[in-house]
Amino acid sequence: MLFFVLMLAAAAVAYDRSYDSARDHILDFKERTNESIGVLTTETGAPVSYKEASITLNKPLILNAHFMESINHIVTKNIPERIVHAKGTGAFGTFTVTHDFTDVCMADFLSEVGKQTKIAVRFSTTTGEKGTSDLNRDIRGFSVKFYTNDGNFDLVGINIPMFFYKDPHNFRSSVQGRRRNPSSNLMDIHTSWDFLSLLPESLNTFLTVFSDRSIPVSYSNMRGHAIHTYQVVNKYGESSFCRFNCEPTAGFKTLTAQEAKKLSSADPDYLTRDLYRLIADGDYPCWTLNAQVLNMTDVHKMGPDVFDATKQISQKLFPPVPIGKFCLNRNAKNFFAEVEQMAFCPGNVVKGILGAPDKLYEARVLAYRAAQVHRLGGNFNKIPVNCPFQTRTLTYNRDGVSPVGDNEGDAPNYYPNSFNGPEPYSPEFEPSLIQIEETKADNFEQSRELYAEDMTEDERVRLVNNLVESLAEVTDIVRVSLLKTFGKIHPDLRQRVAQGLNMTTCD
Ligand code: HEM
Ligand SMILES: *[C@@H]1O[C@H](CO)[C@@H](O)[C@H](O)[C@H]1NC(C)=O
Ligand SMILES: *[C@@H]1O[C@H](CO)[C@@H](O)[C@H](O)[C@H]1NC(C)=O
């Protein structure tokens, strides 16, 4: 017995108890407040007595308002998690214009160098559910909401410069095929790879996911790519086309498979903790916002490929130009209120930014709003973190589930009306999105360039190792079809993966 006690004591001293801003937030709260912040009350404001709060045994429960409220609230407090990108974290900061961009885009928040706009940012993994590891091998989300004077502008991007399909029909299958088996409720390595092997354009993205360039050391080292080619206009009504990107000031840094596994097993919330700490400790992470810019002539010359989400636009032909810089300097005070309830939508654009002409974009505009009505309720844009607080909203929409805010008071609730209700404005010109003709995706050329030219030999070796490890238990039907697709990217890739799996490539 004595031996056991000594062992415990020995284990205890091994822990580092020096101040840690992420772990010790609650200690800061105590120090900041130095006494109880007030009398406990019911939800309707009645003070709760010591007896009501602590002694429920042998009393009629239904008469104890405090008990009834607390039990009802805890059993109903869960809301649906995001259907994709459920695991994530967020923070707040400011965007500052550093370069004149007015010849390209008339958006008010880009109107002059030095102009500042408040922002909210959320980082996430795609496939993992809310409780999964930050460090899973996955595509990662990078969403930015700009609270501009003209309403909110959302850039809802990822950490990889292209997406894995362009036909929005693939969304449902990419979610269901790459998740839990409907019978065993276990993640299914066969269906995951089957879906990708039958969608060859996905491999341009997944070669990157399985490469060294995938799992960030820290969210402050992660790039963001808005993917779609946005049509924007300047004050003369001239259109340009932009691929927006975020480049981390702290540099682009990633983890190897081994490093990620080790960190993840010690702390599945590794990236969440890291971001919280950086901001709490005043080590504010920053990014530059840049864009590859094409004019109408460029677009006609380059063809519809520049709107293909599965492809990059050549950085050599269209080098990114800097627009501004943003830093994150505030953690959420309440995660659920300020991060879980964040609602981004690629359709949230502002004057001067028209959106993107491709079908993937069109589908997203639809899907995010529907998802958020389901997840947060019909008035999700009135939740403070989503509310365009730099402007006044006058919508004619009324009522519905809370929050309703002032519900637009006593103003007329129908349009047109003769009683001074809000009126649409008359812009000088009303540009519209160009029409594009989309064809089936074919991006083997870019995957080949990525594999054969961009990657070093070391990177190729680690890529193949990561693929082989993931494919180790996958059934042959899927491996054979995947090897065929790898062969179209590069015979060497096919050869090496086959070798790693002990398979012959002459089928
Ligand atoms: C057909 C194509 C797509 C559909 C239908 C779709 C749908 C969705 C839905 C329903 C959500 C959850 C929204 C919520 O509950 O708040 C979501 C989240 C997200 N999607 Fe997509 N998505 C598509 C393609 C893309 C693409 C191309 C990107 C990257 C450019 C992307 C990046 C994200 C990100 C970053 C989030 C998380 C946003 C957050 O942090 O709250 N998605 N998507
Ligand atoms: C904390 O306690 C000190 C000393 O009693 C007092 O002066 C101070 O106002 C208190 N602070 C708060 C936030 O209550
Ligand atoms: C479009 O940009 C190209 C350079 O990418 C330039 O040579 C051309 O003059 C521009 N065309 C117009 C109409 O501005």
**pLDDT above 90 (res 226):** yes
Q: How many residues are recorded in the chain?
A: 507
Q: What is the model's pLDDT at position 207?
A: 97
Percent of the residues in the chain that have a pLDDT greater than 90, as a whole number: 93
**pLDDT above 90 (res 24):** yes
Going by CA atoms, what residue is nearest to atom 6 of ligand 2?
34
Which atom of ligand 1 is the closest one to the Cα of 80?
Answer: 15
**pLDDT above 50 (res 276):** yes
Instruction: Give every CB contact of residue 227 below 8 A, 6+ residues apart in sequence.
Output: 157, 158, 161, 162, 163, 243, 309
Query: How far does the centroid of ligand 3 lie from the alpha carbon of residue 297, in Å?
Result: 6
Is any atom of ligand 3 closer than 6 Å to the C-beta of 295? yes
Q: What is the model's pLDDT at position 504?
A: 84
CA 87 from chain centre, in angstroms, equals 9
pLDDT in tens, 420-459: 999 999 998 999 999 999 999 999 999 999 999 999 999 9
Is any atom of ligand 2 closer than 6 Å to the C-beta of 34? yes
pLDDT in tens, 338-358: 999 999 999 999 999 999 999
208 within 8 A of 160, measured Cβ to Cβ:
yes
**pLDDT above 80 (res 10):** no
Q: Among candidates 481, 156, 172, which has minimal Cα distance to 347?
A: 156
Going by CA atoms, what residue is nearest to atom 8 of ligand 2?
34
Helices (H) and strands (E) in the chain, counts: 16, 10
Q: What is the model's pLDDT at position 11?
A: 52
- 230 annotated ligand binder: no
What is the residue-wise DSSP string for 370-434?
HHHHHHH-TTGGGSTTTS-TTS----S---SSSP-TTTTTTS--SSS-SS--------S----PP
Over residues 32-51, the mean pLDDT reads: 95
Q: Which CATH number fits domain 88-160+214-382: 2.60.260.20, 2.40.180.10, 2.60.40.640, 1.20.1560.10?
A: 2.40.180.10
pLDDT in tens, 53-92: 887 788 888 989 999 999 999 999 999 999 999 999 999 9
Neighbours of 186 (CB within 10 A): 8
Grade residue 8 by pLDDT with cuts at 50, 70 and 90: low
Query: How far does the centroid of ligand 3 lie from the alpha carbon of residue 7, in Å?
Result: 74
Is any atom of ligand 1 closer than 6 Å to the C-beta of 88? yes
Over residues 406-427, the mean pLDDT reads: 97
Facing residues of 355 across strands? Answer: 231
Grade residue 1 by pLDDT with cuts at 50, 70 and 90: very low
**In the chain, which residues fall in CATH 2.40.180.10?**
88-160+214-382
**pLDDT above 90 (res 483):** yes
Which atom of ligand 1 is the closest one to the Cα of 141?
Answer: 35
Whole-prediction pTM: 0.95
Neighbours of 204 (CB within 10 A): 27
